[in-house]
């Protein structure tokens, strides 16, 4: 079992329970409103779990590295598949939409170079499963360029520190890097939508690291933004 699979197996119960009342006032609701509307009527593959507040009336197949998380998705009526974003165990091309919700920053490997390489691999793999004209949707937390440079440089140290708590490395990317990764993979009409919620305030106390619920800091000290990116597989 990989460290990421182990981590999410351990976090499954707590993660599901913490997605409570605040969802309706968060960036999750902004993203969910867009996806639930745009994906209606299509065949959808979610990689790394469904987006928060997903419409379970949609035709959803979910790939995840965690069996514990998959059991929760199956109970909600989704088709569960054990697998990894970089090597999806699903035949294709057969999906109208492929959604990667808040997952790419978790696919990091040993450092910044691995993290960037894994993003590029994941978006290329998604292309394989999309029908011509199908769309890849990426929900992500993004950081400014200077923060990103520091993240990449400090990734080996960050990995060791998080490892003391058995937490895998997380690397948040820039909006520019994500858009460029889609374009380089061959997606057309790539665009990025801001999904920050007006209800989230600078003085809100947040938990920035999953697995460290005791760590709470004001949102002001976490310089991130929220984006929903979309790119379309070229038609034939």
CA distance 118 to 227: 19
Q: What tens digit of pLDDT does each residue of 42-63 get?
A: 899 999 999 988 998 899 999 9
Strands 205-206, 95-101: pairing kind: unpaired
Band (pLDDT 50/70/90 cuts) for residue 176 is: very high
Tokens 């639930």 -> residue: 36
Q: What tens digit of pLDDT does each residue of 14-44 get?
A: 665 555 545 667 899 999 999 999 998 889 9
Confidence (pTM): 0.93
Q: What tens digit of pLDDT does each residue of 63-114 get?
A: 999 999 999 899 889 999 999 999 998 877 999 999 999 999 999 989 999 9
- Domains of the chain, first to last: 3-232 (3.40.50.150)
User: What is the SS3 assignment for 212?
Assistant: coil
Name 190's Cβ contacts closer than 8 Å, sequence gap at least 6.
Answer: 179, 182, 183, 229, 230, 231
Phi, psi dihedral angles at 193 (to 5 degrees): -110, 135
Weakest mean pLDDT among 3-7, 141-145, 208-212 = 208-212
């Amino acid at each position: 079992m990989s460290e990421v699979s182990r981590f999410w197996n351990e976090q499954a119960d707590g993660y599901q329970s913490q997605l409570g009342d605040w969802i309706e006032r968060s960036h999750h609701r902004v993203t969910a409103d867009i996806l639930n509307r745009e994906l209606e009527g299509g065949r959808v593959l979610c990689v790394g779990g469904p987006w928060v507040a997903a419409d379970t009336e949609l035709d959803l197949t979910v790939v995840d590295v965690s069996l514990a998380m998959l059991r929760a998705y199956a109970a909600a009526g989704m088709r569960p598949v054990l697998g990894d974003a970089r090597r999806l165990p699903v035949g294709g091309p057969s999906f109208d939409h492929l959604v990667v919700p808040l997952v790419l920053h978790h696919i990091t490997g040993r450092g910044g170079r691995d993290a960037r390489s894994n993003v590029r691999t994941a978006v290329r793999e998604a292309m394989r499963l999309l029908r011509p004209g199908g769309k890849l949707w990426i929900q992500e937390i993004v950081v400014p360029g200077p923060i990103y440079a520091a993240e990449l440089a400090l990734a080996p140290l960050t990995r060791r520190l998080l490892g003391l708590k058995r937490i895998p490395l997380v690397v948040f990317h820039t909006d520019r890097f994500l858009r460029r990764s889609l374009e380089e993979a061959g997606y057309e009409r790539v665009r990025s939508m801001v999904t920050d919620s007006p209800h989230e305030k600078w003085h809100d106390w947040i938990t920035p690291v999953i697995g460290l619920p005791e760590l709470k800091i004001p949102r002001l000290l976490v310089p991130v933004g929220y984006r929903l990116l979309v790119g379309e597989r070229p038609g034939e």
